[in-house]
Structure 1
Amino acid sequence: MIKLKELREELKTVLSGKTMDALLPPLLFVVLNSRFDLGMASLIAILSALMLSIYRLLSKQNWHYAFGGLFGVIMASGFSFVSGNASNYFLPGILSNVFFLVVSLVSLLVGKPIAAWASHLSRGWSLDWFWRVDVKPAYTNVTWIWSLFILGRVLILVLIYISDQTTQLFIWNTILGWPLTIGVLLISYIYGIWKLKRLGGPGIEEFTSGKLPPYQGQTRGF
């Protein structure tokens, strides 16, 4: 049985204070654009992202993440300012979701689900373990969950983008961002552990040590 404490620790690892970085710049952009103009809104959004990046660096957090968020805001603000359309602030995010959806579907097509790659990169577990026939189906199914979620998010955001409703774009981009993503990650983790148990394969430590069946299976982490 997955413990609540275990789920909290997994979520803490995933989130790592990123919510403010994702929420503050677009919120300032939408509010200031409605009161002033695109130039002011873009400038303040970029400055807020810059301050958050400096804070991340001073807190000795990963500089790749700190400047990754800043780069994203600069791109989004640039799109909207050059085009003269505030809704284009959210266009890079929509395009990145389309790109991730394509990558997810391609990974399923070639039999190397992206959920396995994500776990490998974040946890450092051996790739050979992920491709076992008694392990891979769990990551394949979770990749399908991710793909369907991203597809739904893209369709909703594209429809609102076409209608050129900037405030609605911000609201739905926020709702479909971290709130729902957290839910999907929880479902993925709980389902993934359950599926690994059903498959009866070895846990990563059992695989690494060369243990023979019967296996205890993966008891924590996915």
Structure 2
Amino acid sequence: MASIDNTDHENTDGPQGSTDGEAAEVRAATEAALLDAFGGILGMVETTVPGLVFVVIYTVNHDIKSSALAALALSVVLGIARLARKDTLKHAFSGVFGIAFGALFAMMSGNAKNFYLPGMLYTLGLGVAYVVSALAGFPLLGLILGPVFKENLSWRTRNPGRLRAYTKASWAWGLILLAKSAILFPLYWWGNATQLGWVKVALGIPPFLLSVYLTWIFLVKAPAPIDVIAEMEAAEEERKAEKDRAKAEKAAAEAEQAVK
């Protein structure tokens, strides 16, 4: 995506001066980046369906081991499916490890609720990280999406409109995840495993979709990212061209000197 000079970024809160084609390009790039960063539809399946399998089987037979192993087996199958699609290792293994920790914790403790505890702690920690990073002026979502957009950290020093968008989006993610934790942890302490499982499944996809949607809204209204990778490549080409010109001038001068 073409970069925009510093003046435009400092005085623009959204792609107001862009053409319809450029706006469509920004929307498409934002959608692709969000899908890549958060795992897309399969990512939602990986974070929801193994937990659903666990709670369904446990509701029927109240056996922690068979429920946990079934959930883990499904997670492994989904991970293999990602590898078969040549997806990133991050997405392929993150779901497997999360389910494996939960299954191991539940079987070792003999408490079915502990199957969900590692994921709940991760959600709580991530929510806190989003809020703290937004307060610190270094929003976590910018660190996650910056490399995907090929802008790296240019959004923080050269593109204040995108810094504001990343800050708003990080607040959204943080508050939504903390609200989710505020519902789940009381159930973990005072509810039973079946109640906790069904509520956790119900809170799997909707908060995620809301967070992604709000992120998309904030980013499509922000200035376009500065493609620092393209800038570095252009600078390298310019250095190479300058070196070639210098060599040509030197060769011409030597030829002229030889004639004299």
Tell me the TM-score normalized by structure 1. 0.78
Matched, 1:21 2:46: yes
Counterpart code for 1:75: F
Q: Which of 204, 208, 215 is the matching residue for 2:226? A: 204
Q: Name the residue aligned to 1:192.
A: 219
Secondary structure at the aligned position of 2:86 is classed as: coil
Matched, 1:42 2:68: yes
**Which structure has the bigger radius of gyration?**
2
1:52 Cα deviation from its structure 2 partner: 1.9
Q: Name the residue aligned to 2:107.
A: 81
1:10 Cα deviation from its structure 2 partner: 5.8
Higher relative contact order (CA 8 A, sep 6+): 2
Q: Which of 174, 181, 192 is the matching residue for 1:154? A: 181
Matched, 1:53 2:75: no
Matched, 1:112 2:138: yes
Query: Compared with structure 1, are the counterparts of its residues 66 and 205 closer, same or farther at alpha carbon in structure 2 (3 Å cutoff)?
Result: closer
- 8 Å Cα contact 1:112/1:131 also seen in 2: no
Distance 2:220 2:90 in 1: 30
1:85 Cα deviation from its structure 2 partner: 1.1
Query: Compared with structure 1, are the counterparts of its residues 162 and 57 closer, same or farther at alpha carbon in structure 2 (3 Å cutoff)?
Result: same
Query: Compared with structure 1, are the counterparts of its residues 63 and 115 closer, same or farther at alpha carbon in structure 2 (3 Å cutoff)?
Result: closer
- 8 Å Cα contact 2:80/2:92 also seen in 1: yes
Secondary structure at the aligned position of 2:138 is classed as: coil
Encode CA deviations 1:64-89: one digit per residue, 9 max, x unaligned: 32222111111011111111111111
- 8 Å Cα contact 2:53/2:70 also seen in 1: yes
Report % sequence identity. 28
Q: Which of 9, 31, 53 is the matching residue for 2:56? A: 31
Q: Name the residue aligned to 1:167.
A: 194
Counterpart code for 1:23: T
**Equivalent runs, 1:103-142 vs 2, <5 Å:** 103-132=129-158, 133-142=160-169
Unaligned runs of 5+ in 1: 210-222
Unaligned runs of 5+ in 2: 1-19, 232-260
1:56 Cα deviation from its structure 2 partner: 2.2
1:147 Cα deviation from its structure 2 partner: 1.3
Distance 1:79 1:190 in 2: 38
Q: Name the residue aligned to 1:99.
A: 125
Counterpart code for 1:93: G
1:157 Cα deviation from its structure 2 partner: 0.8
Counterpart code for 2:42: G
Distance 1:121 1:127 in 2: 8
Number of equivalences: 204
Encode CA deviations 1:102-156: one digit per residue, 9 max, x unaligned: 2223312332111211111332313123334443222212211111111101101
- 8 Å Cα contact 1:160/1:168 also seen in 2: yes
1:170 Cα deviation from its structure 2 partner: 2.6
Encode CA deviations 1:164-191: one digit per residue, 9 max, x unaligned: 3323323332332222211221122113
Distance 2:171 2:88 in 1: 30
1:203 Cα deviation from its structure 2 partner: 4.5
